Amino acid sequence: MATLKELVAQRFGIAIDLGGNTPAEGTLAQILGRGSQRHYTDKPVTDDLLGVLLACAQSAPTKSDLQQYSIVVVKDPAVREALVGLGSGMDWAPNAPVFMAFCADLRRIRRLAAIRGHDYRNDNLDTFMNGVVDASLAMQSFITAAESVGLGTCPISQIRNKIDRACEILGLPDGVFPIAGLAVGWPKFPAPQISLRLPPPVVVHKDRYDDSALEKEVEAYDRRRHAHRPITPQKQRHTAKYGALDYCPWSENVTRQLSLPERAGFKPFLKTHGMDVA
């Protein structure tokens, strides 16, 4: 049996003195060894199991017990086909055995305020953020629970590429919008690909934020990732603008990605969808 120290090393691509010789099992091993799954068998996920996993999602922490999220489980073939029609990144996910949209829901408490006869004075950016965090925590709780019983999952941010159309397809009213889709099923290939993560000194700060070693740490990380799994020209961002490289490090690819605006229509969408995020 692998040890936790071995799984930590596998996750970062370097030996780190963590975990010692503790056997890698249970939730810690599951999380350290996880990876997104995009290929599933035809075996169905039973309604009973799905219900239990959704209960796990609803067991996640939520800001001030406000529970500002909703989950849309998509079963109707016509709805799935319409989501596939949204294009790039959505062409496979809605055809997974289970497909869901995790949504921030700022509508529910607005309606309850009217029912209870109270003013609603929090249509603002902070409430928007609380709803997004609530939905994110619920999705992560679902993912952890699903993968603990052997299912594979893959979050799909591309549902926001055409968010106005996605809301129309899913019947999401003002104040409700998807933060991500989630594909779920029994994995066709049991061992997921492990993505090397940034080394802890880049992400974990002690007492005060300190990125003085960023360039050195990321340069070493770039080379580890390239040796582990090179970014092929097909996966390189904006090659029409920047060209394809034999050595395309992670830092090059992610900065290329964010060098051009993504989902520039998101803020205007929110304003027309009942959310003031000014």
* Per-residue pLDDT tens over the stretch 24-54: 999 999 999 999 999 999 999 999 999 999 9
- Domain contains 24: no
Do 62 and 121 reside in the same domain of the chain? yes
- What per-residue confidence (pLDDT) applies to 220? 98
Please give the Cα distance from 182 to 44 (Å, whole number): 16
Q: What is the pTM of this model?
A: 0.94
- Domain contains 33: no
Do 71 and 145 reside in the same domain of the chain? yes
Q: Note the pLDDT tens digit of each residue in 201-211.
A: 999 999 999 99
- Domain contains 206: no
User: Does the pLDDT at position 89 exceed 70?
Assistant: yes
Do 62 and 183 reside in the same domain of the chain? yes
Stated as kind and residue range, the H or E segment containing 72 is strand 69-74
Q: Note the pLDDT tens digit of each residue in 202-241.
A: 999 999 999 999 999 999 999 999 999 999 999 999 999 9
Q: With bands split at pLDDT 50, 70 and 90, how would you rate the model's confidence at 60?
A: very high
- What per-residue confidence (pLDDT) applies to 271? 83
- Domain contains 164: yes
User: Does the pLDDT at position 13 exceed 90?
Assistant: yes
Of 145, 167, 191, the residue at which a domain comes to its end is 191
User: Does the pLDDT at position 277 exceed 80?
Assistant: no
- What per-residue confidence (pLDDT) applies to 88? 83
Do 110 and 242 reside in the same domain of the chain? no
Please give the Cα distance from 150 to 97 (Å, whole number): 14
Do 77 and 182 reside in the same domain of the chain? yes
Do 132 and 268 reside in the same domain of the chain? no
Q: Note the pLDDT tens digit of each residue in 168-180.
A: 999 999 999 999 9
Q: Note the pLDDT tens digit of each residue in 121-133.
A: 998 899 999 999 9
- What per-residue confidence (pLDDT) applies to 210? 97
Q: List the beta bridge partners of residue 178.
A: 103
Q: Of 159, 157, 155, whose CA–CA distance to 147 is shortest?
A: 155
- Domain contains 30: no
- Domain contains 119: yes
Q: In the chain, pLDDT over 90 holds for what percent of residues?
A: 89
Into how many domains does the chain fold? 2
Q: Quickly tell me which residue has 């409430």 as its tokens.
A: 127
- What per-residue confidence (pLDDT) applies to 191? 81
- What per-residue confidence (pLDDT) applies to 274? 82
Task: Specify whether the CB–CB gap between 98 and 45 falls below 8 A.
Answer: yes
- What per-residue confidence (pLDDT) applies to 34? 95
Written as one letter, the residue type at 185 is G
Residue 73: CB partners within 8 Å, gap ≥ 6? 50, 54, 98, 99, 100
Written as one letter, the residue type at 265 is G
- What per-residue confidence (pLDDT) applies to 278? 61
- What per-residue confidence (pLDDT) applies to 123? 87
Do 55 and 154 reside in the same domain of the chain? yes
Per-chain mean pLDDT for the chain = 95
Task: Specify whether the CB–CB gap between 110 and 117 falls below 8 A.
Answer: no
Query: Which CATH number goes with the domain that contains 165?
Result: 3.40.109.10
User: Does the pLDDT at position 147 exceed 90?
Assistant: yes
Do 249 and 169 reside in the same domain of the chain? no
User: Does the pLDDT at position 15 exceed 90?
Assistant: yes
Residue numbers of the domain that contains 149 = 47-191
- Domain contains 169: yes
Do 254 and 178 reside in the same domain of the chain? no
Higher pLDDT, 138 or 268: 138
- What per-residue confidence (pLDDT) applies to 198? 98
DSSP class per residue in 1-40: --BHHHHHHHHHTS--S-STT-B--HHHHHHHT------B
- Domain contains 32: no
